Structure 1
Amino acid sequence: MADNIPAGSTTEGAIQVGQQAQQPADARVSAPASYDVADFPVPHGREEDWRFTPLERLRGLHDGTAEATGGLRVDVTAPEGVIVETVDRGDARLGRAGKPVDRVAAQAYSSFEKASVVTVPKDAVLTEPVRIAVHGEGGVAYGHTQIEVGAFAEAVVVIDHTGDATLAANVEYVLGDGAKLTVVSVQDWDRDAVHVAQHTALVGRDATFKSVVVTFGGDVVRLHPRVIYGGPGGEAELYGLYFTDNGQHQEHRLFIDHDTPHCRSNVAYKGALQGKDAHAVWIGDVLIRAVAEGTDTYELNRNLVLTDGARVDSVPNLEIETGEIVGAGHASATGRFDDEQLFYLMARGIPHDEARRLVVRGFFAELVQQIGMADLEERLLAKIEQELEASVS
């Protein structure tokens, strides 16, 4: 049931060993990465990177007019042995994962005053997660977070966004050789919040990075997860789920840069939409450079449209510069709610609303299970049911 998408727009492709493919869309970013906001022109909505984003609803984050007037409370709870610091912007460790790649990320890097740095020491294996609570207290804020996991260490980190804010931020994940990091980023903002962020992971040799991005709240949420490999043997798994409601704009724009041999990536994002002017955007860019022999990559996006008036833009891009790969492919599908599934369940005595909930829960179940934390999984499933209840009330 989880992958049973009814008829809609679908695109699929796969490349096997020894074959090459040319995509019409270039997976590279349109401007060079930089810490300096002046290196990026003000976007006007005609640029490829910004054509889906409602710039007028970003409240000046994109053009330099948004002054930091608001409050942002960051609380970190960590197991013994984890080093938690609040540092000034001049700390030499900041920016190690990678530079900002658009104007909002550069503005955030130029404007934050304090950064949260969480360090998991080498060889440490955490038995409890690190929890980072980010709570908006109104107004405009700029943030920066860095999570570093030392060589052969293992950790789970949960970043939970709540409250009200107009926030631009950068989040860095730095993985040492052989490290394993799982990050769950939850966007459970109040309805009027705006959140624009770049997430950059630098994956060390033979390291494993798993990201689960969950987006529910906010007026506009635009997230840009990026993966860079620091050595051969790195693995990245990027999962995401989003529930886009009346008038919300939720945009997830991924980029995986395979610039190192014998690395692997897997992407799976799923979204449900309901209500007038609900708009979800998913961009999946994968670039396999000429030096990245032995790459194995796949990306998937599925969208379930529950009501009239919702819009989805799903664009997978795959650019390959070498045929010496294990495999590469992508799939994207968007479809309406399947009445046949409802009929099947209702014919067995299940009421309509309960049958609807079961179908949507089944659609998301595979991704929710990737979280691996029972309390958080239950909370997210409850949130999905809350969204469904609102649509039928």
Structure 2
Amino acid sequence: MTGTGTRPAIVADASTGHGAVPVQTRNERFASTDVTAFPPVTGREATWKLTPVADLEELIGGTLDGSRYEVDATTTGGAEVGWVGRDDERIGAAGIPEDRAAANAWSSFQEALLVRVSGDEPSSATVVRSALGPAARAAHTLVDVARFARAVVVLDNRGAAQLAENVEILVGDGAEVTVVSVQDWTDDAKHVANHFAQVGRDARLKHVVVSFGGGVVRVNPSVTLAGSGADGELLGVYFADAGQHLESQVFLFHKADHTKGRVEYRGALQGDGAHTVWIGDVLIGPDATGTDSYEQNRNLVLTDGTRADSVPNLEIETGDIEGAGHASATGRFDDEQLFYLQARGIPEDVARRLVVRGFLASIVQKIGLPELQERLQDRIEAELAGGADV
């Protein structure tokens, strides 16, 4: 599927970026499925200025292999996994690219991996990708959840990769789905992903981004609460080590009335050059009366030499809402927590590890999958064991 978005007036000359009209709200960014519609990325753009674009040059504008790749899929209930062509009518229904990397992936993929869920019984699908290899690649995934279906979908990424991809999530009216994206790549992997979701009437989406592995990982979810009474919970947990860059730019759009949104991302950083970026945009549209929304990001700095960028943004275009707010905090250990644990005979190094585990576990425990939660807790332990100064 090709074409441009519905907002071409935002940029007078999309191919060069010259004559640009200032973007007034978050959902007015230029969008296109054609990579040539976007100018080359310089790193000075608002959406790229905190990203190491030189490390992602091939994914942003290079030639990508968009052929079918190996996956290991496990399903239960009414879930099934297969492949569909670019001409499938559902492709593009959840959203289209707003940056050059996403458009490059869209222009390059040949088939989309489809996760389809239907029926009344609780269902699940786990898709493991562990054999992508080091060559630059494009991918497209479509998660289609039928009306009133209930499901948990895990997109589990492992091994070596240089991957640019788009993930679309369609949540039918009255459906309830949890989508978990796990980035547990090798240390030199590069991954740029954009997730687009449309949530229907009285439907619920829990979207979770887990980023531990990879050299440069950028996962940007954009969720539209399109139906009246829709509910979106956007969660994220990450742990950045020395030289690692982990990033998420989150967009939650309250489009319909009486929608509810919660955004909570938590991360830890240790080691020289560890860098995390979180940008949270929440837009409450003019028709989103009765909206209840809140977003927050919290970062725990474990050693010197790290950097955590955290930018919450909130736009409200109607005065008739239940409530809205945002918060951001970055700091070191809570001295009171450490004192409490040490006063009970727990050594300082053990106390520090307990505080970190508890800080990140508050997100991990909300995933709702015991086996995956246990694996992630073990991963946190491994990260902590690698930090001598923690």
Query: TM-score with structure 2 length normalisation?
Result: 0.90
> For residue 88 of structure 2, what is the aligned residue in structure 1?
91
Unaligned runs of 5+ residues in structure 1 are 1-24
CA contact (8 A) 1:229 1:259 kept: yes
Q: CA deviation at 1:75?
A: 2.1
Which segment drifts farther, 256-265 or 241-250?
256-265
Q: How far apart are the structure 1 equivalents of 2:359 and 2:260?
A: 25
Q: CA deviation at 1:27?
A: 5.1
Q: How far apart are the structure 2 equivalents of 1:271 and 1:80?
A: 34
Task: Check if 1:126 corresponds to 2:122.
Answer: yes
Question: 2:113 is matched with which residue: 109, 113, 116?
Answer: 116
> For residue 227 of structure 2, what is the aligned residue in structure 1?
231
Q: Closer, same or farther in 2 for the Cα pair 1:219/1:70, shift >3 Å? A: farther
Q: How far apart are the structure 1 equivalents of 2:179 and 2:318?
A: 31
Secondary structure of the structure 2 residue equivalent to 1:371: coil
The letter for the 2-side match of 1:134 is R
> For residue 53 of structure 1, what is the aligned residue in structure 2?
51
Q: Closer, same or farther in 2 for the Cα pair 1:164/1:287, shift >3 Å? A: same
Task: Check if 1:218 corresponds to 2:211.
Answer: no
> For residue 303 of structure 2, what is the aligned residue in structure 1?
307
Q: Closer, same or farther in 2 for the Cα pair 1:93/1:126, shift >3 Å? A: same
Q: CA deviation at 1:72?
A: 4.4
Which segment drifts farther, 364-373 or 202-211?
364-373
Q: How far apart are the structure 2 equivalents of 1:60 and 1:270?
A: 29
> For residue 8 of structure 2, what is the aligned residue in structure 1?
none
Q: CA deviation at 1:162?
A: 0.3
Q: How far apart are the structure 2 equivalents of 1:207 and 1:69?
A: 32
> For residue 81 of structure 1, what is the aligned residue in structure 2?
78
Secondary structure of the structure 1 residue equivalent to 2:59: coil
Q: CA deviation at 1:256?
A: 1.1
CA contact (8 A) 1:31 1:101 kept: yes
- Matched ranges for 1:12-23 at <5 A: none
Q: Closer, same or farther in 2 for the Cα pair 1:286/1:27, shift >3 Å? A: farther
Question: 1:356 is matched with which residue: 348, 352, 369?
Answer: 352
Q: CA deviation at 1:70?
A: 9.4
1:63-114 CA-to-partner distances (Å, cap 9, x unmatched) read x224429994322211143232212223222221111111111111110122
Unaligned runs of 5+ residues in structure 2 are 1-22
Secondary structure of the structure 1 residue equivalent to 2:330: strand
Considering Cα pairs closer than 8 Å and 6+ residues apart, tell me whether 1 or 2 has the greater RCO.
Answer: 1
Q: CA deviation at 1:352?
A: 2.9
1:44-73 CA-to-partner distances (Å, cap 9, x unmatched) read 1111111101100114212x2244299943
Q: How many residues align?
A: 366
Task: Check if 1:34 corresponds to 2:37.
Answer: no
Secondary structure of the structure 2 residue equivalent to 1:137: coil
Q: Closer, same or farther in 2 for the Cα pair 1:71/1:144, shift >3 Å? A: closer
The letter for the 2-side match of 1:281 is V
Q: How far apart are the structure 1 equivalents of 2:96 and 2:64?
A: 22
CA contact (8 A) 1:152 1:177 kept: yes
Q: CA deviation at 1:341?
A: 3.0
- Matched ranges for 1:239-258 at <5 A: 239-258=235-254
Q: Percent identity?
A: 55
Q: How far apart are the structure 1 equivalents of 2:342 and 2:63?
A: 51
Secondary structure of the structure 2 residue equivalent to 1:73: coil
Q: How far apart are the structure 1 equivalents of 2:24 and 2:333?
A: 32
Task: Check if 1:374 corresponds to 2:363.
Answer: no
Q: Closer, same or farther in 2 for the Cα pair 1:195/1:107, shift >3 Å? A: same
Q: How far apart are the structure 1 equivalents of 2:234 and 2:70?
A: 27
The letter for the 2-side match of 1:227 is V
> For residue 136 of structure 2, what is the aligned residue in structure 1?
140
Q: How far apart are the structure 2 equivalents of 1:158 and 1:69?
A: 22
Q: How far apart are the structure 1 equivalents of 2:67 and 2:229?
A: 42
Which segment drifts farther, 246-255 or 353-362?
353-362
CA contact (8 A) 1:27 1:285 kept: no
Q: How far apart are the structure 1 equivalents of 2:191 and 2:334?
A: 32
Which segment drifts farther, 151-160 or 341-350?
341-350
Task: Check if 1:172 corresponds to 2:165.
Answer: no
Q: How far apart are the structure 1 equivalents of 2:87 and 2:28?
A: 28
Query: TM-score with structure 1 length normalisation?
Result: 0.89
